[in-house]
Amino acid sequence: AGAAAPRCCLSLWSASTVAAAVYPCFPEMFTIVAHRGDSAAAPENTFEAFDLALQQGFYNFETDCQLTRDGVAVVLHDEQLGRTNNGNGAVAEHCLDQLLKLDAGSWFSDAYAGARIPTLVHLLRRYHNQAHMHLVSRYLHQTSTSCMQLSASLASEPA
């Protein structure tokens, strides 16, 4: 009888549920990704959640982006405001200045009151050379050129 395959626990996190399953696997074949940052301990898709993920040794983030009325990619999962911030209506109906004023932390905990919705550019700049981003966006064709340009400019900046 051969040795049993190693087992690892894969935890899948979302804002409202936590599920865990155990599968036979080889740990070196997996990349652990912090879903919207450490969204179990801080408000999802905020710098606070991504900072906590990094502090815990998670160097891969999954995040989402939506486009504002003025065409800026912001880090939000939902197309509608309200679940993770104090706004209402569609993200696409608001300009960036309006979204930057919203509170994206109080829904989670009073300790995070005043957390803000980051732009994708700010997220990429903040975690450049620190984390790998897994971006989910239905607007990828509209954001990919600016992301590639930003990546090129960040790559040319001194570390």
> Which residue numbers are catalytic?
35, 77
Residue owning tokens 């930057």: 100
Contact present, 67 and 143 (Cβ < 8 Å)? yes
Alpha helices in 56-139 (DSSP H): 96-100, 120-126
Token pair of 63 as six digits: 């995040």
Neighbours of 82 (CB within 10 A): 12
